[in-house]
A and B are shown apart, each in its own frame.
Chain A
Amino acid sequence: MTEGFLFQALIYLTAAIVCVPIAKRLGMGSVLGYLLAGIVIGPYALGFIGREGQDIMHFAEFGVVMMLFLIGLELEPSHFWGMRHRILGMGSAQIIVTSLVLCAGMMLLNFNWKTALASSLALAMSSTAIVLQSMKEKGLGDTEAGKSSFAVLLFQDIAVIPILALLPLLAVSTGHGTGAQSKAILEGLPGWLQTAAVLGAGGSVVLAGRFVIVPFLRIVARTHLRELLTAAALLIVIATAFLMQLVGLSPALGAFLAGVVLANSEFRHELESDIEPFKGLLLGLFFIAVGASINFKLLVDSPLQIISLVFAVIAVKTIVLIGTGKLFKITFDQNLIFALGLSQVGEFAFVLFGFMHQLHILPDHLTDIMMAVTAFSMTITPPLLFINERFILPRFGTLEAELKEADVIDVQHPVIIAGFGDFGSTIGRFLRANGIAATILDNDSDRVDLLRKMGFKVFYGDAARPDILKSAGADTARVLITAVADPSTNCDLVEKIQKHYPHLTIMVRTKDRQDAYEMLDMGVKDVYRESLDTSIRLGVDVLVKLGYRRYSATRAGQNFLKYDEAALLKLAPHRHDEKSYIYNAREQITLQEQLLANDRAVNPTINDHAWESDLRKDQQGEG
C-alpha cells in the first residue's frame, strides 16, 4: 500500500478536505469529520491505508503535544495556579473512582487483577485532542464544563507519569528488558536519582524558558527570517518533548509547562501563530489515523463483545464524571457536557496498552480488543455530544427558549445580542437602562439561568444556528449585535445573518485591528474594536496626570479616536498589497509600525488654533 509519500499525502489531504466540511455543515464539528475521513480511507472501507496508519498515529500524536504547548501559552502561570484545586480534586476523583469501578468490573469478568488494574487505569484516560478541540469549536472553553474538562485532562496528563512507572511492577514476567524503551536512560538508577532526574527535567524547562529560550528567540528574531522563527518555535516544542521522554515524563505535559513559562514573554503571539497551523494539521492527521485504525474485522467477528465493552466503559466513565461534577457543584447542563465530553478513552490509552503489551500484562488478543474499544469510544464522542446538545439538553436541561404562557403575546425585541459576557452584558444593561429590550443569545447554561432569573429574554445555544436565530426573532429585529469574544464565532454568525437576514443591521465586536479588517471585508459597516476606546481613555488620563488640562487632553483623545477610525477604513483595502497577508504576528507588527509613523505625521491637534490662536498672539502681541 505504500505508493510513496506524495500518494499518501494526497489521500490524507483529500479525505480531510472532503469529509470535514460535510461534517461541519451537518453541525457535528471537525473532529468527527476527520474520524470519518479516516474510516473511509482506512483498511476496511476504501483501503487506501493499511497498517501504517498506526505509525502515522504515533507521529501525529505530536499534534497533542503542540496543542498543550499552545494551551500553556494562553494560560498565565498565576491563572494556572488558581486552578490547582480543580485540577487535583476533580482529576484525582475521576481517575481513582473510574479505575476502581472498571477494575472491579473486569475482575468480575474473570480477568486477573493485574490485567484488570492496568487496563482500567488506561481506560480512565480521556482524549485531550477530542475534548479540547470540540469545546473550542463550540465556544465552550470558558464555561464551567470547559474549565473542568481541562482540569481533569491536565491531571490525567500528570497521572500518566506514575502510571508508566507503576506498570513494570505489574509485569507478569520479571525481566522487563525491552519494555521501557522510553526510560532507557534512567534504567538501573536508584529510585531517588530517578526522582531527582524528573524534578530536574521539570525545573530545567522552567529555567530554560526564563533564561535561555527568550534571549535565544531575540537573536533569531533579529535575523528577520520568518521561517527561522518558525523553526525555532518547532525546536522548542520538540526539544521539550524529547527531554521529557528522556526522563520518562509525558511530552505533552512538558510542552504544556514550556507554554506556561513562555506565556508572559513578548514572543507569545509569534509562537502561537507559528505553531498553530502545525498543530491543526497534525491533530487532523491524528484523528484520521484513529479513524483508520479502527479494527472493523474485530467488530464483525465479535460485535456484541466490542459494542457492549464500549458502552460499558462510556457508561461507567460518564456516571463517575457526573458524580465528580455534582461533588464540585457543576450545574446540570454543564455537568452533562463535561461528563459526556470526557467519556471516551483517550489517546494515552494507545500508548499505555502498547506498553502493557510489551510488558506482557496484556495478551495479544486483549490488546487488539482494548485498542478497538479506545478507537470506537473516541469516534462516538462527537455524535454523543451532538445528540446531547440537540436532543437531551433542550428537553431536560436549560431550555433553548423559555416556555411562554399561552395567553401572553410575545413581544418582539428590536435588538438581539449574541454573547453576554462582560462586553455584551454592558451593552444589554445600557440598553435596558434606556428602556430598550434586547433578546440575548448565549451558550453558557449557567449564565442563561442567571439571566432568566433577572428577567432577561434569553435563548440558549449556538447563536449561529438558524433555528435559534429564528426563534430569537431575527425576522423582526432591527439590530443584531455580535459580542462574542472569539472572532471566528462572530465571523460565522455574521455570515449566517448576511445570508438569511439581510435586513438586520449587524454591529460587531472585534478583537483587534486585524479582526476589524476582516469584518470590513465581509461588508459589515459597524465595527467596534473592543479595546480602542478604553485605551484612548487611559491615554487621556495619562496626559492629565502629566499636567495637561483635562479638556485639552480629552479633545486630543477625541481627535485621535476619529483619526484612528478613519485610518482603519483607509488602510483596510490596501492591506493585501503586501505579499504576506496571512494572519500572523509579523503583520500585526508591520501594521503597528505603519500606524506609528502616520501618527507622528498627523500629530492630532492638541495644540491647534482653537480658542487661543498663536498666530494672533504673534501678530498682535499677548492679549
Chain B
Amino acid sequence: MNHFRSTLTNDENDASTPAKILSQQGEGTQDGAHFLAKRVLILFAHPRFEKSRVNRALLSTLPVSDALTLHDLYELYPDYNIDVEAEKQLLLTHDILIWHHPFYMYSAPAILKQWLDLVLEYGWAHGTGGDFLKDKTAFNVITTGGTRETYRSDGFNRFTIREFLCPFEQTARLCKMTYLPPFAVQGTYRLTDGELSRHAADYGFLLQHLSAGAYSREEMGQFAFLNDWLAARQRTQTP
C-alpha cells in the first residue's frame, strides 16, 4: 500500500493532465496534412497520472495532429459518470481506438471497465443493429511493473500479457473491430531515463504510422507486441 502525500506543488499541478501537455506542445507546429488518413482516439485511464513517471513521458512526445485525440477519462469523469452519448459520437469520428492504461492487477483501472460497460451498448456496438464500430481497429497500450519475462507460463505471473488481455480482444471482436497486439512498456520500476525516452519516441512513431495509415493489420497481427512490429519495421527502413 502506498500512501502518497496528497500535496501537489504548483509545478506538478501544471502538468497534471495530459490535455495540458498536449495543448502546450500544440503551439507552433500544426502540420497535420499527411496525417489525415486515419483518425486515432487514445482513451487514457490513469487514476494517479501525476505520479506516473512512465505515462507522463509517454504522453509528452505525442505528435500534434488533428487526427489524434487524447481523451483523459479520469479527468473528464472523476465521478465515473460517463457521458455515453458524447463518447459514442467521439467513437464515430475515429478509426483507431487505443485503450491506454497502466496494467493494474492484470487488467485496466476501473474507469475503463466502466467505459466498456456503458459505452459499448447492445444494439449500437454489438448485437442486433450494433454495427457502428464495424471494421474499426482497437488495441491496448499498457505499462507494467513486471518485465516481459515474468509474463510467461513458466514466469512469475504465469500468463502472457496477451492472455490477460483476452477480455479486451474478445470485446473488440464482439464489436466487429480488428484487435491488434498491445504496445507495452514493461519493467517500469527499473527503466532508465534513456530507455524511457526511447519508449516514448517509439509510441510517437507508432501513432504517426497509424494516423498516416502506413501499416497492415495482418502484418501487425503476427507480432506479440506492437513494440516488436515497430522494431522490425525500423530495421527494414534503416539501411
List chain A positions with a Cβ less than 8 A from chain B.
414, 434-435, 555, 558-559, 562, 608-611, 613, 615-616, 619
Is B121 positioned at the interface, with any CB of A under 8 Å from its CB?
yes
Pick 8 A–B contacts, CB within 8 A, sort by A: A434-B8, A435-B7, A558-B81, A608-B84, A609-B122, A610-B84, A610-B118, A611-B118
A414: which B residues are within 8 A, CB to CB? 10
Residue of A nearest to B6 (CB): A434
Is the CB–CB distance between A610 and B117 below 8 Å?
Answer: yes
B6: which A residues are within 8 A, CB to CB? 434-435
Is the CB–CB distance between B118 and A562 below 8 Å?
Answer: no
A558: which B residues are within 8 A, CB to CB? 79, 81
Across the interface, B81 reaches (CB within 8 A) one of A555, A609, A616, namely A555
Across the interface, B122 reaches (CB within 8 A) one of A435, A555, A608, A615, namely A615
Given contacts A414-B10, A434-B7, A435-B7, contact A613 B84 (CB under 8 A): no
Is B123 positioned at the interface, with any CB of A under 8 Å from its CB?
yes
B5: which A residues are within 8 A, CB to CB? 435
Is B32 positioned at the interface, with any CB of A under 8 Å from its CB?
no
Nearest CB in chain A: distance from B5 CB, A: 8
Nearest CB in chain B: distance from A184 CB, A: 70
Is the CB–CB distance between B79 and A613 below 8 Å?
Answer: no
From 169 to 186 in chain B, residues with beta carbon under 8 angstroms from any chain A beta carbon are: none
A610: which B residues are within 8 A, CB to CB? 84, 117-118
Is the CB–CB distance between A615 and B123 below 8 Å?
Answer: yes
A434: which B residues are within 8 A, CB to CB? 6-8
Is B23 positioned at the interface, with any CB of A under 8 Å from its CB?
no
Nearest CB in chain A: distance from B174 CB, A: 13
Is the CB–CB distance between B84 and A562 below 8 Å?
Answer: no
Is the CB–CB distance between B81 and A613 below 8 Å?
Answer: no
List 18 additional contacts besides A414-B10, A609-B123, A610-B118; criterion CB under 8 Å. A434-B6, A435-B5, A435-B6, A435-B7, A555-B81, A558-B79, A559-B81, A609-B121, A609-B122, A610-B84, A610-B117, A611-B117, A611-B118, A613-B121, A613-B122, A616-B123, A616-B127, A619-B128
Is the CB–CB distance between B122 and A616 below 8 Å?
Answer: yes
B79: which A residues are within 8 A, CB to CB? 558
Residue of A nearest to B83 (CB): A562
Residue of B nearest to A558 (CB): B81
CA distance A558 to B10 in the complex (A): 30
CA distance A262 to B34 in the complex (A): 73
Interface string of B65-81 (1 = CB under 8 A from A): 00000000000000101
B81: which A residues are within 8 A, CB to CB? 555, 558-559, 562
Nearest CB in chain B: distance from A536 CB, A: 12
A562: which B residues are within 8 A, CB to CB? 81, 83
CA distance A609 to B85 in the complex (A): 12
B127: which A residues are within 8 A, CB to CB? 616, 619
Residue of B nearest to A478 (CB): B10
B8: which A residues are within 8 A, CB to CB? 434-435
B84: which A residues are within 8 A, CB to CB? 608, 610
CA distance A619 to B126 in the complex (A): 13
Residue of B nearest to A562 (CB): B81
Residue of B nearest to A614 (CB): B122
Across the interface, B123 reaches (CB within 8 A) one of A559, A608, A611, A613, namely A613
A608: which B residues are within 8 A, CB to CB? 84
CA distance A562 to B118 in the complex (A): 17
CA distance A414 to B13 in the complex (A): 12
CA distance A608 to B79 in the complex (A): 18
Nearest CB in chain A: distance from B81 CB, A: 4
CA distance A610 to B81 in the complex (A): 11
Interface string of B1-35 (1 = CB under 8 A from A): 00001111010000000000000000000000000
CA distance A141 to B10 in the complex (A): 38
Residue of A nearest to B81 (CB): A558
Residue of B nearest to A619 (CB): B128
CA distance A619 to B122 in the complex (A): 11
Nearest CB in chain B: distance from A619 CB, A: 6
CA distance A414 to B128 in the complex (A): 54
Nearest CB in chain A: distance from B89 CB, A: 16
CA distance A572 to B79 in the complex (A): 26
A616: which B residues are within 8 A, CB to CB? 122-123, 127
B117: which A residues are within 8 A, CB to CB? 610-611
CA distance A562 to B128 in the complex (A): 31
CA distance A608 to B127 in the complex (A): 17
CA distance A613 to B123 in the complex (A): 9
9 closest A-B pairs by beta carbon, nearest first, are A435-B7, A558-B81, A613-B122, A616-B122, A610-B118, A615-B123, A558-B79, A609-B121, A434-B6
Residue of B nearest to A613 (CB): B122
CA distance A108 to B118 in the complex (A): 90
CA distance A615 to B81 in the complex (A): 22
Residue of A nearest to B127 (CB): A616
Residue of B nearest to A608 (CB): B84
- Which of B5, B6, B79, B83 counts the most A-chain CB atoms under 10 A from its CB? B79
Residue of A nearest to B10 (CB): A414
Interface string of B107-135 (1 = CB under 8 A from A): 00000000001100111000110000000
CA distance A491 to B7 in the complex (A): 32
Nearest CB in chain A: distance from B164 CB, A: 23
A611: which B residues are within 8 A, CB to CB? 117-118
CA distance A608 to B82 in the complex (A): 13
B128: which A residues are within 8 A, CB to CB? 619
A435: which B residues are within 8 A, CB to CB? 5-8
Nearest CB in chain B: distance from A327 CB, A: 48
CA distance A555 to B83 in the complex (A): 11
CA distance A609 to B88 in the complex (A): 14
Residue of B nearest to A435 (CB): B7
B121: which A residues are within 8 A, CB to CB? 609, 613
CA distance A611 to B10 in the complex (A): 40
Nearest CB in chain A: distance from B53 CB, A: 21
Nearest CB in chain A: distance from B47 CB, A: 17
Nearest CB in chain B: distance from A609 CB, A: 6
B118: which A residues are within 8 A, CB to CB? 610-611
CA distance A606 to B118 in the complex (A): 14
B123: which A residues are within 8 A, CB to CB? 609, 613, 615-616
CA distance A616 to B125 in the complex (A): 13
CA distance A174 to B48 in the complex (A): 90
Nearest CB in chain A: distance from B16 CB, A: 13
CA distance A435 to B122 in the complex (A): 45
- Which of B8, B122, B128 counts the most A-chain CB atoms under 10 A from its CB? B122
Nearest CB in chain A: distance from B75 CB, A: 16
CA distance A381 to B216 in the complex (A): 86
CA distance A613 to B117 in the complex (A): 11
Nearest CB in chain B: distance from A231 CB, A: 49
Nearest CB in chain B: distance from A499 CB, A: 26
Nearest CB in chain A: distance from B113 CB, A: 11
Interface string of B184-200 (1 = CB under 8 A from A): 00000000000000000
CA distance A506 to B79 in the complex (A): 24
A559: which B residues are within 8 A, CB to CB? 81
B7: which A residues are within 8 A, CB to CB? 434-435
Residue of B nearest to A617 (CB): B122
Nearest CB in chain A: distance from B116 CB, A: 11
CA distance A434 to B4 in the complex (A): 12
CA distance A558 to B79 in the complex (A): 8
CA distance A616 to B129 in the complex (A): 11
CA distance A550 to B95 in the complex (A): 37
